[in-house]
Amino acid sequence: MKQAANVLRREIYGYFASPVAYIFLIIFLMLAGYLTFVEGEFYEGRQASLLPFFYFHPILYLLFGPALSMRLWSEERKSGTIQLLLSLPITIFDAVLGKFLAAWIFVGVGLLLTFPMVLTVVYLGSPDYWAIFCGYLGSFLMAGVYLAIGSFTSALTKNQVVSFVIAILLSLVLFLAGFPNFTRQLESMLPLSAVNFIASFGFFTHFLSIMRGVIDLGDVFYYFSVMGLMLFANVLVLEARKAA
């Protein structure tokens, strides 16, 4: 874990040493605000609730997750520094974990910067603080899944654009799987048990209950399971590259 921490520090420094990171955060905050106040009609709802804010996070991460993670391994492979990194006295798992955690922390910083949203609902009334905490927790966990998928696809190719597209497609499948309209379409083609099984893998299904203030260990387990699966696949891809 010490080596993973070293990779994490290196990556975090790389993020904040680049102006691109600050541009990324500004765009993230602007788009989050637009979706909340315009598309989510925040003020029209006349409620001291952040549900309109959290509701759009699956869509927000569908763009920003792949965009942030597409460089994690593609850039290393394209520049040739991946050989140097993997030749160091560090396991591939530590390298994968360190890079992933750095990206996840960076998204966490972006979430923390949305704190004025909390102040807004406090000004409007008496919000449910537990629901707000759960919403942020669910959003952070969901962001980790998007980033883990992006990290995996980034290891597959040297081309960041290709990594970005593949990550969006994989994330889109899991995103749509949790939507009622999508599952209703499947009901006409598949048995109900199969439809329920597919829906259980959807981001939105697990995020919805957490967003409303209900923390189910099954939902938390789902997020960490998908993250673990994607990072494990990430390690396998890099192991194959190293052996080739």
Q: How many structural domains are present in the chain?
A: 1
In a domain, 78, yes or no: yes
Instruction: Give residue-wise pLDDT tens across range 102-138.
Output: 999 999 999 999 998 888 888 877 788 888 899 999 9
> Which residues form the domain of 95?
2-40+50-243
In a domain, 45, yes or no: no
For 79, counting Cβ atoms within 10 Å of its Cβ (0-12 exposed, 13-18 middle, 19+ buried), the class is: exposed
| CA–CA distance, 30 with 94 (Å, rounded to integer) | 34
Compute how many other C-beta atoms are within 10 angstroms of the C-beta atom of residue 222. Answer: 20
In a domain, 177, yes or no: yes
Compute how many other C-beta atoms are within 10 angstroms of the C-beta atom of residue 153. Answer: 28
- pLDDT category, 46, cuts 50, 70, 90? low
Helix (H) or strand (E) segment spanning residue 84: helix 81-87
Q: Which amino acid is at 124?
A: L
Three-state SS at 45: coil
Q: Which amino acid is at 54?
A: F
Q: Are residues 96 and 231 in contact, defined by beta-carbon separation less than 8 angstroms?
A: yes
Q: Is the pLDDT of residue 139 over 90?
A: yes
In a domain, 170, yes or no: yes
Mean pLDDT, all residues of the chain? 83
| CA–CA distance, 197 with 59 (Å, rounded to integer) | 22
In a domain, 227, yes or no: yes
* Predicted TM-score of the model (pTM): 0.88
Q: What is the pLDDT of residue 80?
A: 62
| CA–CA distance, 240 with 154 (Å, rounded to integer) | 14
| CA–CA distance, 203 with 182 (Å, rounded to integer) | 13
| CA–CA distance, 10 with 221 (Å, rounded to integer) | 29
Farthest-apart Cα atoms in the chain, separation: 61
Instruction: Give residue-wise pLDDT tens across range 59-72.
Output: 899 989 999 888 88
In a domain, 221, yes or no: yes
Q: Are residues 78 and 158 in contact, defined by beta-carbon separation less than 8 angstroms?
A: yes
Q: What is the pLDDT of residue 10?
A: 83
Sign of the Cα torsion 195, 60, 141, 170 reads positive
Q: What is the pLDDT of residue 5?
A: 81
Q: Is the pLDDT of residue 45 over 70?
A: no
In a domain, 84, yes or no: yes
Q: Is the pLDDT of residue 83 over 80?
A: no
Helix (H) or strand (E) segment spanning residue 31: helix 19-34
Instruction: Give residue-wise pLDDT tens across range 207-232.
Output: 888 888 888 888 889 899 999 999 99
In a domain, 222, yes or no: yes
Instruction: Give residue-wise pLDDT tens across range 161-176.
Output: 888 999 999 888 888 8
